[in-house]
Chain A
């Protein structure tokens, strides 16, 4: 883990830990032995759950891909209200402001900690290539590819930077976005 990755993971700790939670849950479902569960360590294994290799291609895919999916869905749910409340409508009032800020931090953390480590992604690819049936290869290849690319980008801080850039764009062009949505939405007068 390089320095940038480490700083990002500390800043977005909720996303790291929630991802580990999903991985652990899936490991228990597939009876994969978990060798290390200490998540709060100020070292290379910060927030990382160590487990043994999954027994089957399906399990390897699920453990690599399902947490990504769950993190993204949860991030979407949290972004829905927090982005609108914080950056589009800019709601005032302490309750809305604090709830939206916290929800935004969680959503952002989940968004930038989606994919498995690069080694896991490689393992998924190797297992799929070596042990996967033809149907598995067809069905699981896109997800495996996504995991590999996402992992590559995530570990180099690209996802984090892209998310920051998107946020900056939202803040800068808030007015234009608001006007565009108003124009694009169906007539709401009733």
Chain B
């Protein structure tokens, strides 16, 4: 890995200056986004510098329990973020998103590390395990968040429709299958869209990184194909997982719709 130009902090700073463009637009159009822009810039710099340090440390230690520890933390944050983005809450939503992210992302990452990339020296090699998990988590998080939001929104706004089906003898599943299908489908749309245009409209970040690092395009492309399918399957699993878990939380075994469990957060 020596085919790339190392950046000095001065050069990074030069790129960071581009934030003035956003700032100028915000001031020019009176968008009042200066504060958020400033905060976002600072967070970008600080978080990435920190993660750089952490990864240096993890790569150097090269121990399985350190890798798993970092992976657990990443997964937990992804799960909690997925729930926190939701406009409507119900008791147990946090547990459901964490479980869904955890099961889907880890299953798919394990498949990648043990089955697809058999030649790597050890399964926990941080150079592979952490970036793979990170990319899968980021995308699964989106699917879960969108699926969850669609489901709770549909159930809350279509309460009477769901209940009138229950009142005619529908099982809880028969009454909810419309919203459930809608939620799963919506959660999977973004990844399908990006699979449609990948390589034409966008060059994915990972592939770009490998190209800059000097990898042959044909090799970088293979990695990207693998990662697209990993992401797609993890997103599907995670979305179905969170939708089913939410369904089980919002409908009980007596086929009752527990609409009172869904709260709307007003602080938007």
Q: Do chains A and B stick together as partners?
A: no
Residue ranges of A at the interface with B (Cβ–Cβ < 8 Å): none
